[in-house]
Chain A
Amino acid sequence: MNRRKFIQQGMVAGSALVAGSLLPEQLLATDNPYQLTILHTNDVHSRLDPFPMDGGRNQGMGGVAARAVLIQKIRQEQSQVLLLDAGDIFQGTPYFNIYKGEPEIKAMTMMGYDACTMGNHDFDGGIENFATQLQHAKFPVLMANYDFSGTALEMKTKPYQIFQKGKVKVGVFGIGIELEGLVPENLYGKTIYQDPIVAANKTATMLKKKGCDLVICLSHLGDKYDDGKVSDEILAKESYDIDLIIGGHTHRFFEKPRKYSNKRQKEVLVNQVGWAGIQLGRMDYKFSSFDNSKTADSKSIFIGNISAK
């Protein structure tokens, strides 16, 4: 889908809504039960307001009030939407220092997030604080490789969640980064970090066996490193049943989703959208019963002001 086509679609859907009736063609186009729209963020870092207009590189960008409008607009156009976050919700603006994450989690609930995983900075107020702020979350926190036994988060996170979206069954799970040396020990407490590749493969295979058509890993490992440290790239190559890794931690703005070949020589996609809510990522998956090919659109589409239309 190119930019022009997208804008046209958006405008048609918008004016149809104003007129109070949708054309049947439009309904068909947007109500396809074999299509899933994945929206995603990562490393938002308490950036509730846009960056201030101070001459900085990111001035005026981001902010939950603008993101909420964009998400609502896409939900009006697409019937099957999953909204996901790959961690580091907390820390970075004084909102977090003062309110300890309450407005961040409440805003995510208002926007209708379906699930998130935890990043290292989500421990910054202490593990007890994260557990406390979860009272404001109407979405699950997914963690498949942290053992929270004996901590405030015990039984408060889930390894995975299965979503039925139209005809598509989607399994989503979360993978966190090694905490030792990254997060002060007094903040993560008795949390035990488990091998992310082992945990991810076990969870993904189980989700496929449960009949999931698409398995998504929310990862805070980071996209890749020079020194061979475990990353989304390594996880993708070492995986068997993951279809998509939505990553974070390294604050990387991908030009397009990266493709890797897994242990079964099947394609795994990895995507990440920088940080601070400057971007909202969108991936539209189209499914069929017969076609075995799986290709990502290789066009790099960067839409500047579509949300302003």
Chain B
Amino acid sequence: MRFYSKLVYFGTLVLFFGCSHKLQTNSVDFVDYQISKSAPVDSTMVRFLNPYGSKMQATMGKVIGISKQGLSKKQPESAIGNFMSDAMKASAEKVFNKQVDAAFVNYGGVRSYFPKGDITIGLVYELMPFDNLVVLQQLSGTLLQQLLDKTAVDGGWPVSGISMEIKDKKAVKVMIAGKPLDPLTTYTIANSDYVANGGSDCPFLKPIPQENKGYTLRDALIDQIQRMTAAGKTIDAELENRVTLSKD
């Protein structure tokens, strides 16, 4: 090893003293090319993608509902967030066969939006690409407040069954099941297993036991869309002041 490091040393000497063209950066020019819809396409790449795309379209192109208004994503509250959290709560109540007090979707887990018009299976996959499972946890009012405060720090998560205001990065004026949050009451809360396992910086949820039926959040969304469509409804959701910024 001694011999080796001497060799390295010698090499460095050559580089600095013997080699005249050690380079320096002179200038940097940059450009961000926008890949626009009018850009020409590479036919080899198109041919390569075609078989993948057509097989994918066969399963993902199926229309399961229609949205009249489209559902977009924003904070502290959004139409797509209300739809997702409502779907999670309703589907969880059916699958677990019990009353669920509230359901949460972490804001980072809302990966897309629904455009106006046909809602396909593929759009649901883009909205919820992860194979996250819906799990139930029994949370004390105190722990639920901790989770709500975390959502307040993030600027508001989609939530069903709760209304609240965000003030100084805390959840205030929290109403659940029509009543103010009670620190001593135990609530049944639906979350994705990602969050319940401590993801999205929620380590305080990790020790709490989970009820798990292997039911994905994506299936919860698809089931809700199919129920709404069967009932003659469009896939739309309203803003209901579930999460607002405090004006106090």
Contact = CB atoms under 8 A, between A and B. Distances in A.
Contacts, number: 221
B23 A308 contact: no
Interface in B23-59: 23-42, 44-46, 48-49, 52-53, 55-56, 59
Given A66-B35, A69-B39, A214-B25, A98 B30 contact: no
Contacts of A140: none
Contact of A50 (B15, B37, B59, B122): B37
Contacts of B111: 92
B35 A213 contact: no
Contacts of B15: 211
B41 A303 contact: no
A277 B41 CA distance: 14
Interface residues of A, number: 87
A98 B56 contact: yes
A284 B32 contact: no
Interface of B is mostly: mixed
A270 B44 CA distance: 33
B180 interface: no
Given A303-B33, A305-B38, A291 B56 contact: no
A286 B29 CA distance: 8
Contact of B48 (A6, A107, A271): A107
B228 interface: no
B40 A94 contact: no
Interface in A269-289: 269, 271, 273, 277-289
B21 A56 contact: no
B33 A294 contact: no
A67 interface: yes
A292 B22 CA distance: 11
Nearest to B116: A55
A307 to B, nearest CB: 4
A91 B131 CA distance: 11
A96 B40 CA distance: 25
A266 B33 CA distance: 28
Interface string B191-211: 001100111110100000000
Interface string B41-80: 1101110110011011001100000000010000000000
B183 interface: no
Given A97-B129, A98-B59, A285-B25, A103 B49 contact: yes
Nearest to B194: A184
B31 A301 contact: yes
Contacts of A93: 125-126, 129
Given A55-B70, A211-B15, A292-B24, A65 B42 contact: yes
Interface string B62-100: 000000001000000000000000000000000000000
Interface string B138-181: 00000000000000000000000000000000000000000000
B12 interface: yes
B113 interface: yes
Interface of A: 1, 6, 34, 48-50, 52-56, 59-70, 72, 91-99, 103, 106-107, 110-111, 124, 167-168, 181-185, 209, 211, 213-214, 243, 253-254, 256-257, 269, 271, 273, 277-297, 301-308
Interface of B: 8, 11-12, 15, 20-42, 44-46, 48-49, 52-53, 55-56, 59-60, 70, 111, 113, 115-117, 122, 125-126, 129-130, 193-194, 197-201, 203
13 contacts: A6-B31, A49-B49, A54-B117, A98-B60, A183-B199, A214-B25, A257-B30, A279-B34, A280-B35, A289-B21, A291-B24, A291-B26, A305-B34
Given A34-B23, A61-B34, A303-B31, 15 more contacts: A1-B31, A6-B31, A54-B116, A55-B116, A61-B37, A64-B49, A66-B40, A67-B35, A110-B44, A182-B199, A214-B25, A269-B28, A280-B32, A283-B28, A301-B32
